[in-house]
Amino acid sequence: MYIRTLISKKSVCTGGILSLLVVFFILGCVTTVHLKQFQDIRRSAIEHDFSGVIFLAMDDTIILHEAFGYADRKENIPNTIDTRFAIASITKQFTGATLVYLLNRGLLDLDDPITYYFSDFPRGAQISINDLASHRSGLTRYLKGIPLQEDPLSCLSWTEKMIERSLITYRCKPGERFSYSNAGYNILSAVIERVSGKPYSEVVIDMISDPNIELYHPHDQVPKKAKGYFCFGVEAKTEFDDTLILSRGSSGIFTRAIDLYNWYRMLRDNQELFTAVHERIHESTLDNYALGWRVSELNGSTWYQHGGQANGFASMYMISFDTNTCLVILSNRHWRIAEAYIEGLAAGIRDNATFR
């Protein structure tokens, strides 16, 4: 079931087969518009029971903006292009941008050790803000002991309690290797709260200051919000509780595809964030990751991307200033095949976006 498509003088051809588990999809090149090509994307999405929104814009033109499936399966409410989805780890780039925003206002330095902000943080003298933002702190993926939901409006108090109760845990030595850590971004949101004196969500809004970008945080009243589902088989579907994704700084934001497109346009017009991203990536050989972005080179173009998976939601966000391309895929049905479908679709678009 599709809701809406916006078609310009460019389109996306599909062709061939990408086989990953039982998923088959390859996106071809960008050419002149042909309705059948959009129908191929729709047909593939429907065949694989994709539920969510697919968005593609190039050269300031929205090529595809379409919704599939249901926001609420029980109530039979369809997804639309105005449905808001949990973007999970895509949230990290907003945390990274907020750090740069505060850096430029002289409120912190990315090389500051965490002990500047939490004097009793174990091994904190060996860990900088940049280490946390680049997943080089050595912290475990999650910190256990005190659920974030105990104080969902403040990661600052949560971090202080975790330190006080000796619940900070590591999986490797700081700086030893790239080790993805959601906990590191939870702590970054606490740093943001400490230096700004405001809740994390308010500082993110200050950083954006654009009415065309609507972000919703845990415990906001989110209009037209999708419910997240997981599939244990083709038929068995389980709805997830929103409280499972209330992780400040690392996850938790709900938004629409069009908002992420407007975010891309804001970043394109003011690239101070990406100057900082590249400076940090060039300083390390551990991984091409910094401040909530993974960076790759393809056909002479630089791509910035991040995915997200959390309790019934899966997403992918890819942008390239070189090709002036923005791709957003948001889904409220998280399972292995759906996740593979999203990754395959996104890779197909990215790999062929430079062919005009």
314 token code pair = 């899966």
Tell me how far apart the alpha carbons of residues 89 and 253 are, in angstroms, rounded to a whole number.
9
For the domain spanning 92-207, the CATH number is 3.40.710.10
What is the pLDDT at residue 277?
82
- Greatest Cα pair distance in the chain: 61
What's domain 10-90+213-352's superfamily in CATH?
DD-peptidase/beta-lactamase superfamily (3.40.710.10)
Q: What pLDDT is attached to residue 285?
A: 59
Q: What is the pLDDT along the chain (356 residues), one digit of tens a residue?
A: 322 333 232 222 222 222 222 222 223 333 333 455 566 667 777 777 789 999 989 899 998 899 999 999 889 999 999 999 999 999 999 999 999 999 999 999 999 999 999 999 999 999 999 999 999 999 988 888 776 655 555 788 888 888 988 889 999 999 889 999 999 999 999 999 999 999 999 999 999 988 999 999 877 889 999 998 887 543 335 666 655 555 789 988 999 999 999 999 999 988 888 888 888 877 765 688 999 999 988 878 888 999 998 888 999 999 999 989 999 999 998 766 555 666 666 666 666 554 34
Domain ranges of the chain: 10-90+213-352, 92-207
Residue 14: predicted pLDDT: 23
3-state secondary structure 164-232: HCCCCCECCCCCCCCCCCHHHHHHHHHHHHHHHCCCHHHHHHHHHCCCCCCCECCCCCCCCECCCEEEC
What is the chain's alpha carbon radius of gyration, rounded to the nearest angstrom?
20
Predicted confidence at residue 36, as pLDDT, reads: 54
H/E element, 313: strand 313-320
**Topology alike, domains 10-90+213-352 and 92-207:** yes
Cα–Cα distance, 60 to 122 (Å, whole number): 47
